[in-house]
A and B are shown apart, each in its own frame.
Chain A
Amino acid sequence: MKPRNAPAFATWLLNLFCSGPEHDSVVGDLTEKYQQHGGRFRYWRETFDILLHAIYCKVARRPLTSTHRIPVGSIFAVLVIFIGLAMVLLTGIAPILLIPAAIGASVALLRFLRHDEPSVALTWDAGRKHTAQGNPARPIASFSAPDVARINISTISIGGGMGAGILILMLLTAVLHDVPPLRILAVPGMVAGLVVAALLRFWRKRHPRDIEKEWISIRPK
């Protein structure tokens, strides 16, 4: 049977980043899998997965089959912060950054007035010290008048996705406002962002390494 030709560019990338002898078996397995099952999309997915590891491992000077995972979330956060800082420095959008601060302050005030339990657990020192962990049955909002407000870091929950979304929206608005030529790129940019987000979600959903985090680990005696 004539061997099928794998996607040339993907193979070129594999040869570029996975040329060492330690990668031979991985690339060979990928080639064999493609010959058996075919599927260019799957080949690309597998290639992308292996390439990410290979690049990371090259940077970290580790073998391809290391146990380290790529900190995608951290990379994304650093990227968003970097873009934000660059936008603040390069354009006149600093006043726009006051909007989320004002919204955040308003929400916090409303929640305080409504005696909602805050997502960031505040513990009050009123004569004696309380902590969320130390007194879990007692509602935090029912504590007596505060002398000192403290943030219990271990109970902070951050709506990272929502925060990042608001930040991106703000930056996009600012850029479109200040740099008219970039308006042409806005729609394809947003579409590309949605596609990347969908692909990441799909990858995350199907990736067993993420699944295993949710599964139990058994420690035999």
Chain B
Amino acid sequence: MALPTLSNFELMVMLAIIRIGDGAYGVSITSEIENTTGSEVLLGSVYDAVARLEEKGLIVSSLGEATPERGGRAKRHFRTTSRGLRVVRETQQSLVKLWRGIPQLKGGEA
């Protein structure tokens, strides 16, 4: 069965989930991406991405505990599947191959 494609943002979400490990949920994924990239990320975008990733079978989710600072609402935890890890690894290999042979980028020109 062919492996699914990953958009750049989906890849970032996957990497954030892998970096966080157990207990990755909406806020922590958003913070991880924001801290790493310096760009602001909306929760809705992350939830869109994780829904797509879940549909592709790259991550699974489960309901976690509720805390008072969340208004008593439960967290939804995400973790990667073995298939998801394989896709990330192969995407990394593809990117590394693409980077090889590219001259140093200067002033916005190749």
Contacts and interface: CB of A to CB of B under 8 A. Distances in A.
Size bracket, chain A contacts: 35 or more
Interface residues of B, number: 42
Interface string B66-110: 111111011110000000000100110111000000000000000
A175 interface: no
Contacts of B3: 219-221
B74 A25 contact: yes
Contacts of B41: 208
Interface stretch (A31-39, A102-110, A113-121): A31-39
A47 to B, nearest CB: 10
B43 A211 contact: no
A149 B73 CA distance: 64
A26 B40 CA distance: 17
- For the residues of B in contact with A, the DSSP-based class is helix
Contacts of B10: 212
Interface string A122-137: 0000000000000000
Interface stretch (A60-68, A77-85, A92-100, A182-190): A60-68
B36 to A, nearest CB: 13
A212 to B, nearest CB: 4
